Structure 1
Amino acid sequence: MNFFTDGPRERPLFPVPEQELYSYEGRPWTGPPTEHIVPAVLPWVIQLARSERTVVALRGVEVWPEAATLRLSVYSRDNLLTDAPRGTLIDHRRVPDYHALLIGVLFADGSRASSETISVPSATEPDAPVLRAQGRGGTAFHFDHDVFVWPLPPPGPMKLIVQWIDRGIAETQTRLDGGAIRGAAPEAGELWPGLPRRTANELPARRVGAQVAITHQTVTGETSAGPGTPSPLPSRGPGATFSRRDPANGFTPGTNSAMPEGHPES
């Protein structure tokens, strides 16, 4: 008898990858809705912090209907790979490393979020703002990052805070125009208007990193209708729609040339 059995074994039922895109189900605090929305783009290019051998810069803001993604880049005259063992320089940890690169936002209403805490997507709407950073790779001397921030900032100044003690960068604040970010949100365009909602007998499997998460709807056969359950599409008031939507083609890209409100503050 052979040690290895003859023929392939039966494959498990789960995970079941989705073969068709369903309509946007909300939960805008979990991450950018890249499968359904083309964001408005604010072409802001700002040096956020600088030391003798390192520069941290903002290279634009992607604005979603209810959140924003800050595109951050790090440039260095030293090899950055030794500082990014996990593929990112901004790292959420249980015990924050206050000598590493830290990013934070402070809204005009006093609410705040930063990379010093672990940011895990939640099933229900959080009580506080969310900041989630993700490395986008680069080279030994240049790294890109997406810093997702939910919700949209209220009108007024939004401070973007950077600190990197190991690289000689003390806490540095840059003031951005929160109203301009919020005002760009209606220009985000829905790609697939009218997609069907997922029904209770579907078996969606959404990949989260290297794992697969089966939705509550799959397990129970019902949808949640409790408090905090988001609507299918971001609500902007009765009868409101995305201002750049084209019923025939899904969306028409818009432009927004609004500039940041202020400059770095030490």
Structure 2
Amino acid sequence: MPIERMLFRTEALAIVLASAVAFPTGVKIGLQLAARRVEGVNEDTWWDRHDLMFGHRRHRFRAEDSLPDEVVRFGVRFPDGSKATTVDGRTDSGEWPPPRPEGPILRRSSGSGGSGDDRSVSSNWSLWLWPLPPPEPFEFAVEWPLYDVPLTFTEVDGAAIVAAAGRAQPYWGQTK
């Protein structure tokens, strides 16, 4: 389902919450990121930022470490106060099936392409949110110090996502 909400925009950067694909257990969130080289950004800085737009650098950190400015942070906050971010630092227990987590989880799941050159770059990112949001408005957050993106909240319609999940169809039926 389309969401099409501008999360943040400057002369150099745009971040759009583009879409959601709802499943009975969670939702895949589609983001579009676009940047352009503005006056005063040198060649090395531009290419470093270009690579970040594709998520080529994965940062590993411990909870006690401060996050590098290069790390983009996404998050959700539900009306009951529960929240999750892409930098929560939760680790995989290695158990299968994994234990049911406490509270929501938001993880970057993939990038699905994009394009760029020495003047501009665009990229598509996907996040996985578990569980489904409640059927009421909730907040989606973004922060990216490298691009001077302050912690910014945007309201999202949880009811529309829950309704879409209700329409989800399995790819294959049960076999007998």
* Normalised-by-shorter TM-score class: 0.7 to 0.9
- The equivalent residue for 2:41 is none
- The equivalent residue for 1:151 is 131
SS in 2 for 1:180: helix
SS in 2 for 1:118: coil
Q: Quick check: 2:134–2:158 contact (8 Å CA) kept in 1?
A: yes
- Give matches, 1:21-32, under 5 Å: none
Decide whether aligned partners of structure 1 residues 91 and 63 sit closer, same or farther in structure 2, where only a CA change above 3 A counts. farther
- Structure number with bigger Rg: 1
Residues in 1 aligned to 2:160 and 2:11: alpha-carbon distance in whole angstroms: 32
Residues in 2 aligned to 1:146 and 1:96: alpha-carbon distance in whole angstroms: 24
Residues in 1 aligned to 2:12 and 2:122: alpha-carbon distance in whole angstroms: 12
More strand by share: 2
How much does 1:178 deviate?
A: 1.2
Same amino acid, percent of matched pairs: 28
- The equivalent residue for 1:193 is 173
- The equivalent residue for 1:70 is 29
How much does 1:87 deviate?
A: 4.5
Matched to 2:81, the amino acid is G
Once the two structures are overlaid, the 10-residue window that deviates more, 94-103 or 107-116, is 94-103
More helix by share: 2
Q: Quick check: 1:163–1:171 contact (8 Å CA) kept in 2?
A: yes
Q: TM-score, normalised by structure 2?
A: 0.77
- Deviation track 1:36-71 (CA, whole Å, cap 9, x = no partner) reads xxxxxx112111111220000011111011100110
Matched to 1:111, the amino acid is S
Once the two structures are overlaid, the 10-residue window that deviates more, 45-54 or 95-104, is 95-104
Decide whether aligned partners of structure 1 residues 57 and 193 sit closer, same or farther in structure 2, where only a CA change above 3 A counts. same
Q: What is the aligned-residue RMSD (CA, Å)?
A: 2.4
Decide whether aligned partners of structure 1 residues 43 and 87 sit closer, same or farther in structure 2, where only a CA change above 3 A counts. closer
Residues in 2 aligned to 1:103 and 1:116: alpha-carbon distance in whole angstroms: 8
Stretches of structure 1 that go unaligned for 5 or more consecutive residues are 1-41, 197-266
Which of 70, 75, 84 is the equivalent residue of 1:104? 75
Decide whether aligned partners of structure 1 residues 85 and 173 sit closer, same or farther in structure 2, where only a CA change above 3 A counts. closer
- Give matches, 1:1-266, under 5 Å: 42-78=1-37, 82-83=48-49, 84=51, 87-88=54-55, 91=58, 93-94=60-61, 95=65, 97=67, 99=69, 100-121=71-92, 123-133=98-108, 134-140=110-116, 141-195=121-175
Q: Quick check: 2:114–2:123 contact (8 Å CA) kept in 1?
A: yes
Q: Quick check: 1:58–1:71 contact (8 Å CA) kept in 2?
A: yes
SS in 2 for 1:88: coil
SS in 2 for 1:144: strand
How much does 1:86 deviate?
A: 9.7
Residues in 1 aligned to 2:103 and 2:73: alpha-carbon distance in whole angstroms: 18
Residues in 2 aligned to 1:49 and 1:89: alpha-carbon distance in whole angstroms: 22
